[in-house]
Structure 1
Amino acid sequence: MAKSILITGCSTGIGYVCAHALHQRGYHVIASCRQTKDVDRLRAEGLNCIQLDLSDPRSISEGVKHTLELTNGRIDALFNNGAYGQPGAIEDLPTQALREQFDVNFFGWHQLVCELLPTMRAQGSGRIIQNSSVLGFAAMKYRGAYNASKFALEGWTDTLRLELHNTNIHISLIEPGPIETQFRENAKRAFLKWINIENSAHEQAYQQQLQRLEKEKSNNAFVLPPESCIAPLLDALESAKPKARYRVTTPTKVFAILKRLLSTRVLDKFLMKAT
């Protein structure tokens, strides 16, 4: 029997390429997207795809119900991937902007896991893979809302792993660094929604941020394609002893080492230069 997996955030990027890769590998993939136009597009490409909006609790519950109907009541794995980045200095972000960031990047994931865990417990097995970020353990300026959501996700996931240690439900984090996706386009939209550039002490820095977000391609020398996340996802799904963390891209691996070795003061000097 083909193993079933629900993947969120499949319209583009990491979720999109992983959904297709696992489908080709023989998994029963249930891809999900927020917008119905993307659901229709992925269905036309041969994927089972459902509508699921991580900012809407009712949509999440309906997505879980639909998923279990498609998989005959079994779910072998969940890949929590759907997220976006809210740029802006902490002092310029209204509380509602952080609420919306956490609704999608954290609270929606929490609800989804909690609604699928009873099925995994009943069947005696499961895999939960969370797509975090280098920004889940190394903060960078003007990414405070996203940093906070990913830091929270890392602590939440570590806790879940400890609480499920005596079960056959395995928990893993994937921590990508710079990946070439449409992340910047969505971030720019969120930036313009909430940030008043002209009235900010960070106006000059924001102009540089906008230039970065408007580029079609990343100028980061270490950027990798979204396909670079397929191999760690497969290991997290298929290894008898999956890792707690899979670090993807050189920056993630380097900063993980630097955080262990350097003082906060020295590490800050490196993080201040990061873009």
Structure 2
Amino acid sequence: MQNILITGCSSGIGLQTALTLKENNYKVYASARKEKDVEMLRNLGFETFQIDVRNKKDITNALKTIIKNDLKLDAIFNNAGFGQPGAVEDLSVDVLKKQFDTNFFGLHEVTLQAMSLFRKQGFGKIIQHSSVLGIISLKYRGAYNASKYAIEGITDTLRQEVLGSNIFISTINTGPVTSKFRENALKKFNKNIDIENSYFSEIYKKELKARLETTEDKAPFNLPESSVANVVLKIMKTQKPKPRYYVTKATYILGFLKRVLSTSLMDKLLNKI
């Protein structure tokens, strides 16, 4: 039986992916940052770990347990992450570091430790959860954009460095998908952005907060969490998975336009989204 470690399974895409793989007879080690979420996963029948990807020891302990139990690790899905909204000029260095600590450095620590195991056993799959915002950038999402662009750069490099081995690196570029992403982003926005004293104060109040507070999925081409879960399932079933998978029509369209339009035209188009 193939096994996989998934980070960020408290809700949304991570939880749905864990459920989908479990239903398809994969052994899923589902992890979450908070104890209450770990308990929820345990009650759903998962073997689970409490992993804060910012904590190296959490990752090490989980991987040691997996190897002790199964003598191997087939795959990891680096899914843990969050979005920090706000205009670039309103992002302090500390806030930007916090975004990168989870989305990029945490992902990289999981990747490093998994790669060590994969090199020893001679096989493995690393699935990196990027975004359409790792391909194009949208205003007021600078911290998240930057973290996803960083994932793209380091993953593209790693993929070249494992070429010819039996280790496969796949990037998933997800577009608008139903999840608790906006709900969590709103908390970060209210906590870390000085809304009242910002140049963008009125825009924040009239547009951005309203978008984050809505419970409706009005984004064009929005898909359910299962759209990503099914891609991860496909990767697990594939002996030699592709290096990149787009999820939602929005990702395909924007990825194509990024390649064919001038930077100026692309900026004008994206500014309307």
TM range (shorter): over 0.9
Deviation at 1:60, TM superposition (A): 2.6
Contact 1:9-1:34 at 8 Å conserved across structures: yes
Q: Structure 2: which amino acid aligns with 1:42?
A: L
Partner of 2:214: 215
Deviation at 1:241, TM superposition (A): 2.8
SS at match of 1:247: strand
Partner of 1:233: 232
Partner of 1:25: 24
Q: Structure 1: which amino acid aligns with 2:51?
A: L
Partner of 2:140: 142
Contact 2:220-2:250 at 8 Å conserved across structures: no
The verdict on how the C-alpha distance between 1:72 and 1:241 changes in structure 2, with shifts beyond 3 A counting, is closer
Deviation at 1:121, TM superposition (A): 1.4
Partner of 1:258: 257
- 1:67-101 per-residue CA deviation (whole Å, 9 max, x = no partner) reads 333x4331000000010000001111110111010
Distance 2:55 2:97 in 1: 13
Aligned length, in residue pairs: 272
| Runs of 5+ unmatched residues, structure 2 | none
Deviation at 1:56, TM superposition (A): 2.2
Structure 2 length as normaliser, TM-score? 0.97
Partner of 1:35: 34
Partner of 2:65: 66
Q: Structure 1: which amino acid aligns with 2:208?
A: Q
The answer as to 2:72 corresponding to 1:87 is: no
Deviation at 1:12, TM superposition (A): 0.6
Contact 1:55-1:100 at 8 Å conserved across structures: no
Partner of 2:185: 187
SS at match of 2:86: coil
SS at match of 1:171: strand
SS at match of 2:70: coil
- 1:140-197 per-residue CA deviation (whole Å, 9 max, x = no partner) reads 0000000000000001100010000021000000111000100011101111111011
SS at match of 1:204: helix
Contact 2:137-2:145 at 8 Å conserved across structures: yes
The verdict on how the C-alpha distance between 1:60 and 1:240 changes in structure 2, with shifts beyond 3 A counting, is closer
SS at match of 1:273: coil
Structure 1 length as normaliser, TM-score? 0.96
Deviation at 1:232, TM superposition (A): 1.6
Counterparts of 1:21-170 in structure 2, within 5 Å, are 21-69=20-68, 71-170=69-168
- 1:187-238 per-residue CA deviation (whole Å, 9 max, x = no partner) reads 0111111101110000111111111111122221321100011222122222
- 1:17-74 per-residue CA deviation (whole Å, 9 max, x = no partner) reads 11011111111100000001010011101111110001223323233333333x4331
Deviation at 1:240, TM superposition (A): 2.8
Distance 1:131 1:224 in 2: 16
Q: Structure 1: which amino acid aligns with 2:116?
A: P
Contact 1:180-1:217 at 8 Å conserved across structures: no
Contact 1:177-1:252 at 8 Å conserved across structures: yes
Contact 2:73-2:118 at 8 Å conserved across structures: yes
Distance 2:18 2:193 in 1: 34
Contact 2:32-2:51 at 8 Å conserved across structures: yes
Q: Identity percentage over the alignment?
A: 46
Deviation at 1:252, TM superposition (A): 0.3
Contact 2:20-2:230 at 8 Å conserved across structures: no
- 1:239-272 per-residue CA deviation (whole Å, 9 max, x = no partner) reads 2331111101111000111011110011111110
CA RMSD of aligned residues (A): 1.1
Q: Structure 2: which amino acid aligns with 1:242?
A: P
Q: Structure 2: which amino acid aligns with 1:170?
A: F
Partner of 1:177: 175
